[in-house]
Amino acid sequence: MNKKILISGGAGFIGSHLCDFFINNGDIVWCIDNFITSNKKNIEHLLKDKNFIFIEEDITTINEDKIDEKFDYVLHFASPASPIDYLKYPIETLKVNSIGTEKMLNIALKSNSTFLFSSTSEVYGDPLVSTQDEQYWGNVNPIGVRSVYDEGKRFGEALIMAYHRKFKLNTKIIRIFNTYGPRMRLNDGRVIPNFIYNALNNKPLPIYGDGKQTRSFCYIDDLIEGIVKVLEVDYNLPINLGNPEEFTIIELAEKIEKIFGKKLGTQYKEPMPDDPKKRKPDINLAKKLLNWEPKISLEEGLKKTIEYYII
């Protein structure tokens, strides 16, 4: 049976890959986006599809009454997500994760849809434990510059659990760890697009801080597979989605150099404020509930991503 799906932030990096997935599956996709940090190019190929309905609007000011459809799924992916984006749009980030989440929840409530929220590993802040499972409450600076994103997502999670408990709405929360792949903006400031941009321009790779901080990078196709599985499972508490293979930023720079096959060198810069020193998901819950784990290695994923920017 074909499904009807509403995706906020559907023109963004992850949102547009979700639109593709559901359109290719024969479903009907309603996509809302205001292009604050996304790109029309990501959905251009879908605009002519009769199953794809696009609404250019800010979900924090949208009139929910205008959207009177019966959706099977409401997926809330609208939000600036890279540190430089949410530092540039602090108020918008807080609003889209609070007011925007409330509006999307109300749309889901009208037609008793399954609701899914794209939360983040940032809810764990600068973690004091080396692998973060869903039980960990986090170590977040509530007034730091990153708090607009961290606390925005934490508020979103709280609001969703309140709707779940009060209205019995079938809600899902995924905590997405660093994800990469085609369609990330090369200037979005995140480490993988930044390194690719610099490598393409034969410039040294900028490393913020000492480069010993760690991240675990998940390729977009693996993430999309996980998200789709979450929608079908009978579970309403947060689920970590990410790739548990952990690398220091120095190791990532070395991989990029190796793939490009040229000596680029590194340039050390000031650390980002409140930059988490380590990040590695515990995905045992996702493995057990969804029978899912990432399959694409960092090297393979980087090669696919680089191809997208070269062609």
Tell me which residues touch ligand UDP (CB under 6 A): 82-83, 178, 189-191, 194, 206-208, 213, 215, 249, 272, 275
Choose between 206 and 244: whose C-beta lies nearer to ligand UDP.
206
**Is 149 considered catalytic here?**
yes
**Nearest Cα to Cα of residue 67 among 114, 144, 6:** 6
Choose between 64 and 209: whose C-beta lies nearer to ligand UDP.
209
Choose between 129 and 289: whose C-beta lies nearer to ligand UDP.
129
265-304: burial string, b at 16+ Cβ within 10 Å, e else: ebeeeeebebebebbbbbbebbeeebebebebebeebbee
Strand partners, 32: 8, 55
Residue 79, H or E segment: none
- Contact (CB, 8 A) for 8 and 77: yes
Alpha-carbon distances of 295 from 115, 299, 305, rounded to whole Å: 26, 12, 15
**Measured from the CB of residue 120, what is the shortest distance to ligand UDP in angstroms?**
8
**Measured from the CB of residue 232, what is the shortest distance to ligand UDP in angstroms?**
28
Cα–Cα distance for residue pair 244/229, rounded to 1 Å: 18
Cα–Cα distance for residue pair 215/6, rounded to 1 Å: 31
**Measured from the CB of residue 82, what is the shortest distance to ligand UDP in angstroms?**
6
Choose between 178 and 284: whose C-beta lies nearer to ligand UDP.
178
- Contact (CB, 8 A) for 176 and 119: yes
**Nearest Cα to Cα of residue 6 among 33, 44, 26, 25:** 33
**Measured from the CB of residue 225, what is the shortest distance to ligand UDP in angstroms?**
21
**Two tokens at 247?**
């690398």
Choose between 201 and 291: whose C-beta lies nearer to ligand UDP.
201
Amino acid at position 262, single letter: K
- Contact (CB, 8 A) for 237 and 283: no
**Measured from the CB of residue 147, what is the shortest distance to ligand UDP in angstroms?**
13
**Measured from the CB of residue 18, what is the shortest distance to ligand UDP in angstroms?**
20
Cα–Cα distance for residue pair 249/262, rounded to 1 Å: 18
Choose between 113 and 198: whose C-beta lies nearer to ligand UDP.
198
Active-site residue, selected from the candidate residues 149, 163, 180, 219: 149
Q: Which residues are catalytic?
A: 149
